[in-house]
């Protein structure tokens, strides 16, 4: 079955770069039609899509955060990595990675990882 | 950017009642809309995609309808486990993929 799990620091300082890793199983990112995305959720607030990457290395980013985000994949390790530069306290959120169905919807999600930005 | 608006913000109902949730888009998204359920401390769960297609394993009491700018998620008879927050998401004119602000269904 498909599983995903996020890993990375729980606390980062303002201006630092956040690196999150999504390790998955049950599918391959080298298979046509497959994609993985990142979504975040500030405490008590709504979901916000950040980025996604497809099997063919096509990458899409949220326009409002594009200058700060980089998404990459390591097919051999079954991992997707998201980096976000210049972190700010408003970036405090639970960060989720998720498998894509129909190229644009998220059908399997990781448990999420809470990242706090504070000095 | 397409903005999604959900109403009501909170829906207070009893188990067994019918729930009708609305999602409205600022411009047409055709049928490219999904619904998710999220319980406290959990990741969202995909319920409906392409406006009316139930995701794998989703009970038949959940149904979606609509196209263009107006969409509805209906829960025909609320079960205790259905009390949660529900989000809609569009993919029509992207990036970005956008989510609505959510509707909380709580116990009356």
- CA distances to A2, B34, B43, B66 from A24, rounded to whole Å, are 7, 23, 15, 34
* Residues of chain A with C-beta less than 8 angstroms from the C-beta of B39: none
Buried b (16+ CB within 10 A) or exposed e, A55-71: beeeebbbeebeebbeb
Strands (E), chain A: 3-7, 11-12, 18-25, 35-41, 48-54, 59-61, 69-74, 79-84, 93-101, 105-109, 113-117
- B106: nearest Cα among B41, B11, B8: B11
CA A8 to CA A24: how far, in whole Å? 14
B45, B98, B100 ranked by CB distance to A49: nearest: B98
Q: Is the confidence at residue B93, as pLDDT, over 90?
A: no
Work out the minimum CA distance from A74 to partner chain B, whole angstroms. 23
Average pLDDT over residues B68-77: 98
In this prediction, residue A88 carries a pLDDT of 98
Nearest CA in chain B to A60: B95
Chain A residue with CA closest to B49: the answer is A105
CA dist., res. B97 & res. A37, Å (int): 11
* pLDDT at position B95: 83
Choose from A65, A104, A111, A112 for mutation: most chain B CBs within 10 A: A104
CB-based contacts of B20, cutoff 8 Å, min separation 6: B72, B73, B74
Give residue-wise pLDDT tens across range B16-52.
999 999 999 999 999 999 999 999 999 999 999 999 9
C-alpha span between B21 and B10 (Å, rounded): 10
- Percent of chain B past pLDDT 70, that is, above it, reads 100
- For CA atoms A17, B90, A97, B44, give the dihedral sign: positive
Are B10 and B2 within 8 A, CB to CB? Answer: no
Residues composing chain A: 119
pLDDT at A15: 97
Q: What is the pLDDT of residues B57-71, one digit of tens each?
A: 999 999 999 999 999
- Which residues does chain A have with pLDDT short of 50? none
Of B95, B94, B103, B100, give the one whose Cα is nearest residue B13. Answer: B103
Residues linked to residue A79 through DSSP beta bridges, in sequence order: A23, A74
Query: Given an 8 Å threshold on Cβ–Cβ distance, is B50 in contact with A102?
Result: yes
Average pLDDT along chain B: 96
**What per-residue confidence (pLDDT) applies to B55?**
95
At B94, is the pLDDT very low, low, confident or very high (cuts 50, 70, 90)? confident
DSSP state of B55: P
């Amino acid at each position: 079955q498909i599983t995903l799990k996020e890993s990375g620091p729980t606390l980062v300082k303002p201006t630092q770069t956040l690196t999150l890793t999504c390790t998955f199983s049950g599918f391959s990112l080298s298979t046509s039609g497959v994609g993985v995305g990142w979504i975040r959720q500030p405490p008590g607030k709504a979901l916000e899509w950040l980025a996604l990457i497809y099997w063919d290395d096509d990458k899409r980013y949220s326009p409002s955060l594009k200058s700060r985000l980089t998404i990459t994949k390591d097919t051999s390790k079954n991992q997707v990595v998201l980096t976000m530069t210049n972190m700010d306290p408003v970036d405090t959120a639970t960060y989720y990675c998720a498998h894509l169905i129909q190229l644009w919807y998220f059908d399997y999600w990781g448990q999420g990882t809470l990242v706090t930005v504070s000095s | 950017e397409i903005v999604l608006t959900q109403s009501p913000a909170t829906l207070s109902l009893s188990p067994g009642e019918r729930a009708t949730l609305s999602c409205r888009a600022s411009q047409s998204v055709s049928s490219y809309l999904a619904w998710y359920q999220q319980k406290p401390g959990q990741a969202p769960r995909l319920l409906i995609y392409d406006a009316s297609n139930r995701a794998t394993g989703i009970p038949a009491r959940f149904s979606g309808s609509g196209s263009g700018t107006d969409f509805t998620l209906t829960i025909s008879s609320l079960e205790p486990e259905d009390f949660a927050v529900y989000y809609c998401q569009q993919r029509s004119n992207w990036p970005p993929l956008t989510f609505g602000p959510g509707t909380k269904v709580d116990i009356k």
